[in-house]
Amino acid sequence: MRLMKKFLPLIMLLMAAPAHADVTHRLSSSVQLNVNSAATQATRIGSSYSVSGSGVATTDGTTANTISTGAITSGVMSPGNISATQVTSGNAFSYSASYTQADAVPTSAVSVGDVANFGSMTSNAAGTAGNLAGTITSAGAMTLTAGGAGTQATGQFVTELTVD
């Protein structure tokens, strides 16, 4: 019996169900360094021609009460000559004409580094790397150094612990 009492704790330990747990530990780090390239956006402006009025008679020089469509060359409208004459002398009248000249349609593509002769342009210079740098140690210590204009530095350290 005495011998049995000695082995009882050992027997009880062997009878216990084992505990199972999956433990996953992940570490990841990344540094992204960007230097912007030069970019230009060009928008061609089209022709616009508008005439309005009341109490006036118009002529294109040839036909009364006519407004000339003009001519289009290289994508640019050149309106015809319009004359307006007051219909009844001494009465109220109004007359308005406006014209926006279009950008000419290019005959060939521009060379690299050149810009087209368009009325609406946005141009950005290339970034300069300068001292742009980034490091992350295995302990997660991060060092990001700013570069020149047009640069970005992004650092990330992720630790993930999963117990199933």
The answer to whether residues 83 and 95 touch, using CB atoms and an 8 Å cutoff, is no
pLDDT at 99: 85
Residue type (1 letter), 145: T
**Which residues does the chain have with pLDDT short of 70?**
1-4, 13, 16-19, 66-69, 112-113
* Helix/strand/coil percent split, the chain, to 5: 10, 45, 45
The answer to whether residues 132 and 150 touch, using CB atoms and an 8 Å cutoff, is no
pTM over 0.95: no
Which residues are CB-contacts of 51 (< 8 A; sequence separation ≥ 6)?
Answer: 58, 67, 82, 96, 97
For the chain, give every domain's residue range. 18-38+125-163, 41-123
pLDDT at 114: 72
Q: Cα-atom radius of gyration of the chain, to the nearest Å? A: 40
The answer to whether residues 72 and 111 touch, using CB atoms and an 8 Å cutoff, is no
Neighbour count for residue 93 (Cβ, 10 Å): 16
pLDDT at 16: 64
User: In this predicted model, what pLDDT tens digit does every residue of 34-82 receive, in sequence order?
Assistant: 999 888 888 888 888 888 889 888 877 777 776 666 777 877 777 777 7
